[in-house]
Structure 1
Amino acid sequence: MEGLQRCFVLHSRHYSETSLILDVFSEESGRITLMAKGARRKRSNLKGALQPFTPLFMKWTGRGSMPVLTHAEPISIGLPMRSYILYSALYVNEILARVLEVQTPYPALFLDYLNVLRELAQADNPEPALRRFELALLDHLGYGVDFLHCAGSGLLVDDEMTYNYREQKGFMASVVSGQLTFTGRQLKAIAARHFETQDQLRAAKRFTRMALKPYLGSKPLKSRELFIPRGRSTAT
């Protein structure tokens, strides 16, 4: 690897007495696991920099399963995540670490990630930003869905009609209600990624949970569990 890359640390864990293993999302190389040798030493210049939500320039060496970090410097101060917004940001990090293939570039997704962190840092309600990011992530993963046309007739969806989602087919007009049923108005909001009502947000959350499930697998998300002790209804 040559030159510096813009990166964020998604997650870190201790390795030996002085080192860290980092899960990193980089602009040019995608998700990569790095060994940060000596990063936990008291005099290490890396110790304070390798934190989530801090934009970094990073450089590493080696082409094996775990290259070694050789340089890291903050581009700016970390984006502030206050109170329960922090849990939403941790959720974004966790789903990226779970669904992205190692060393597969996603430069456009990197910008979407940067945007969602900026939105969350300023948000009172994290849900619109989370739903937009989840939909962007699904696009980058190749999960293509036409929200605006009935898969059966080809007609534009109607605000007042209901549509049932069928995997690999799309949304079909239906008179039966259920977890896979959405109104035309809800589908238009999801397509535009613009949510004006709680009903539209709930529908988007229902869809993204369903669509992301095959990528995330059956293992529970740790970031969702963080909401439970505080008695909050989870935004994730």
Structure 2
Amino acid sequence: MREAVQQEPAYVIHRRPWRETALLVELFTLNHGRMSLVARGGNSAKSALKAQLQPFQPLLVDWTGRSDLKTLVQVEVRSAPRLGQTRALYSGLYINELLQRILPAADPHPTVFANYIECLRALAEMAPKGDVEPTLRKFERAFTTSLGYGFAWDQATDTGRPVEAGYRYGYDPLQGIVSAQCVGVRLQQLQGESLLALAADDLSDDAARKTAKRVMRVLVDFLLQGKPLHSRNLFSHSVSSSGRTP
């Protein structure tokens, strides 16, 4: 049966030339998750689609098709704030790459879609020298939780005991936070004070931000299963003199 979808809220997370004049576009959509569409003629000089199918641009799209690869029929561009700053732009490319490389195809995640919109809004409104990391950590946590990898920052799963200040803990993607005695975990030496702050969604302290970044880096790398993230290279080579990357 041929599927026809109309007026589906969507964002472009990746695109590339396809065959002679087409574009192969990956969309993150509200009701259908990550979808691959062919925009016929989209890469030709006279087509308006190349300008319309831009990252971070909210769209309403129509498509049709029987296979996993659908055909784009129509695009309606919606208004949205722009990611004008370099760090905001590269942060947006990072979250797009997470969706492209980790999110299963045709698997709806409406909560992640809402978090994505909020993340783009926060990045667009960021001050010129603002810190992108709290915004990225918030999105990473919502994204990984939606995929079934959420955990309690204030609970050691191996002992069942609450995290305490003054103690150190570990983290493993398959177990969550564990006690320091738990062997074979991927990440160790996490301060209890930082974990308690993160449990309260408090990223105001630098130590807590660093802990969140270390934990989410391990989890994201686990979900990537060895796939590289090109957006990290953008950060390390072009953006931050402090050497910070997502």
Partner of 1:154: 160
Select which of 187, 191, 202 maps to 2:199. 191
Query: RMSD in angstroms over aligned alpha carbons?
Result: 2.0
TM-score, structure 1 length as denominator? Answer: 0.91
**1:25 has 2:25 as partner:** no
Number of residue pairs the alignment of both structures matches: 235
Following TM superposition, the consecutive aligned residue runs of length 4 or more in structure 1 with deviations greater than 6 angstroms are: none
**1:132 has 2:147 as partner:** no
- State whether residues 24 and 38 of structure 2, in contact with CA within 8 Å, keep that contact through their aligned partners in structure 1: yes
- Tell me, in whole angstroms, the C-alpha distance in 1 between the residues paired with 2:83 and 2:176: 39
The 3-state SS of whatever aligns with 1:227 is helix
**1:219 has 2:227 as partner:** yes
After superposition, the Cα gap between the structure-2 partners of 1:78 and 1:172, relative to the gap in structure 1 and judged at 3 Å, is closer
TM-score, structure 2 length as denominator? Answer: 0.88
Partner of 1:59: 62
**1:46 has 2:49 as partner:** yes
Select which of 155, 175, 178 maps to 1:172. 178
Compare 178-187 and 190-199 and name the one that shifted more.
Answer: 178-187
Partner of 1:207: 215
After superposition, the Cα gap between the structure-2 partners of 1:174 and 1:109, relative to the gap in structure 1 and judged at 3 Å, is same
1:27 is displaced (CA, Å) by 0.3
Amino acid in the other structure paired with 1:44: S
Q: Which runs of 5+ in 1 are unaligned?
A: none
The 3-state SS of whatever aligns with 1:148 is coil
- Tell me, in whole angstroms, the C-alpha distance in 2 between the residues paired with 1:71 and 1:180: 50
**1:87 has 2:90 as partner:** yes
After superposition, the Cα gap between the structure-2 partners of 1:205 and 1:3, relative to the gap in structure 1 and judged at 3 Å, is same
- Tell me, in whole angstroms, the C-alpha distance in 1 between the residues paired with 2:78 and 2:72: 17
1:6 is displaced (CA, Å) by 0.6
Amino acid in the other structure paired with 2:83: P
- State whether residues 14 and 27 of structure 2, in contact with CA within 8 Å, keep that contact through their aligned partners in structure 1: yes
1:167 is displaced (CA, Å) by 4.9
The 3-state SS of whatever aligns with 2:52 is coil
Q: Which runs of 5+ in 2 are unaligned?
A: none
Amino acid in the other structure paired with 1:225: N
Select which of 148, 152, 171 maps to 1:142. 148
Partner of 1:235: 245
After superposition, the Cα gap between the structure-2 partners of 1:170 and 1:179, relative to the gap in structure 1 and judged at 3 Å, is closer
Identity across matched positions, percent: 34
After superposition, the Cα gap between the structure-2 partners of 1:157 and 1:47, relative to the gap in structure 1 and judged at 3 Å, is same
